[in-house]
Chain A
């Protein structure tokens, strides 16, 4: 179970990492409650590694915190045992360590300094038997709302954040392991 929780932790790291791509949002990027996609200047995939420079460390931290909070509070437990086990059994120090790892991963994925010291995604998710439904639930009910809550531009979500997390190869490295 410890391994399970650890794996789940890294799952979150990984996916969140992708998530934060678009994240960030300093005030300059906020578009609040807009209901229409904005016309961003970036095209799909061209901006993924520019996100850290665009939004900065503070914004990445805010989205990371949002992702962790939402994952731990997944209403119907669709994400399985791992996140709630982690929340229930980890000390504050371990949760802080996890958040640091998550932030490092996100920063790395989205163009910042590479300080991530974790294992590969396949290795991290080995034995977790994550399903396609669970993966998609995490992306759509945790990551996307976390980005939106932090006023990330819709164009950044679709153009910069989406490509890595919806990449079939990346998803395959996590699902069914």
Chain B
């Protein structure tokens, strides 16, 4: 028996070594695929995690945003203001948005890409406007966590309120930015009530800044008002 056990020990030792090696290798490979270590995987080994193959890098995502901006921008004239809903684009950082949300008790969460933050239940007062409506806010950041775009979406149940808010939205933009680059539809209850998908829309496009405001009749879903803005770089 002792002789037999002695002859088996080398195999047992080898199995332990092999098992440990497999465990270590598995752990190491698993670690390389974690969010923390993916940059190491890419930079040192020149590889990408296959489970995140569809994810854009922050730099690529930002490059696409800038490319898209320049497709529709108006060359030459800079915008008189980069302010959007009270948020200074290009100046605020992610931490400023977090502080704003905390101070106002607004519920926000990072999206899966990590490039943006979604906030729900945002009141008009939270964005320095009047009214009782709640809406959502969407903040977009560049790879250095600088605020580069913001979108607000507000739903209202009737054409009267939608017309009032759309009119106020247009007046606010006009006071800051002047005449729009494009204007379609009328910001009135009568116009918006003409049918589903009736839309009042203004667009401001500058070399360094763009803003779009719209009010749309969504039929049974009421009326959707949007205001969004972004900077070029």
Would A144 and B150 be within 8 Å (CB), given that A77-B116, A136-B224, A158-B194 are in contact?
A: no
Which residues of A from 82 to 103 have beta carbons under 8 Å from B? Answer: 84-85, 87-89
Size bin of chain B's contact surface = 35 or more
Proximity bits, B190-222, A CB within 8 Å = 1, else 0: 010011111101000000001010101111110
**Considering the chains assembled together, what is the distance between the CA atoms of A18 and B54 in angstroms?**
27
* Given A35-B185, A76-B138, 15 more pairs with CB closer than 8 A: A1-B52, A72-B68, A74-B68, A75-B65, A75-B69, A77-B61, A81-B55, A133-B136, A136-B153, A140-B216, A148-B184, A148-B199, A166-B197, A166-B221, A168-B220
Name 14 interchain pairs, CB-CB below 8 A, sorted by A.
Answer: A44-B195, A73-B68, A74-B68, A76-B116, A76-B151, A76-B230, A81-B55, A81-B112, A133-B136, A140-B218, A148-B201, A157-B197, A166-B220, A168-B220
Nearest A residue to B148, CB-CB: A76
Q: Are A133 and B153 in contact (CB under 8 A)?
A: yes
Minimal beta-carbon separation of A135 from chain B (angstroms): 10
Give how many A-B residue pairs fall within 8 Å (CB-CB). 128
**Considering the chains assembled together, what is the distance between the CA atoms of A89 and B61 in angstroms?**
12
Which residues of A from 111 to 139 have beta carbons under 8 Å from B? Answer: 133, 136-137, 139
Residue A36 interfacial (CB < 8 Å): yes
Question: Which listed residue (B54, B113, B140, B219) contacts A89, Cβ 8 A?
Answer: B54
Chain B: interface secondary structure? Answer: mixed
Which residues of A from 124 to 177 have beta carbons under 8 Å from B? Answer: 133, 136-137, 139-141, 144-145, 148, 154-155, 157-159, 161-163, 165-166, 168
Chain A: interface secondary structure? Answer: helix
Nearest B residue to A3, CB-CB: B54
Q: Are A158 and B196 in contact (CB under 8 A)?
A: yes
Number of interface residues of A (CB under 8 A): 44
Minimal beta-carbon separation of A81 from chain B (angstroms): 6
User: What B residues does A1 contact at CB under 8 A?
Assistant: 52-55
Residue A4 interfacial (CB < 8 Å): yes
Q: Are A162 and B197 in contact (CB under 8 A)?
A: yes
**Considering the chains assembled together, what is the distance between the CA atoms of A116 and B65 in angstroms?**
31
Residues of A within 8 A of B (CB): 1-2, 4-5, 33, 35-37, 44, 69, 72-78, 80-81, 84-85, 87-89, 133, 136-137, 139-141, 144-145, 148, 154-155, 157-159, 161-163, 165-166, 168
User: What B residues does A73 contact at CB under 8 A?
Assistant: 68, 71-72
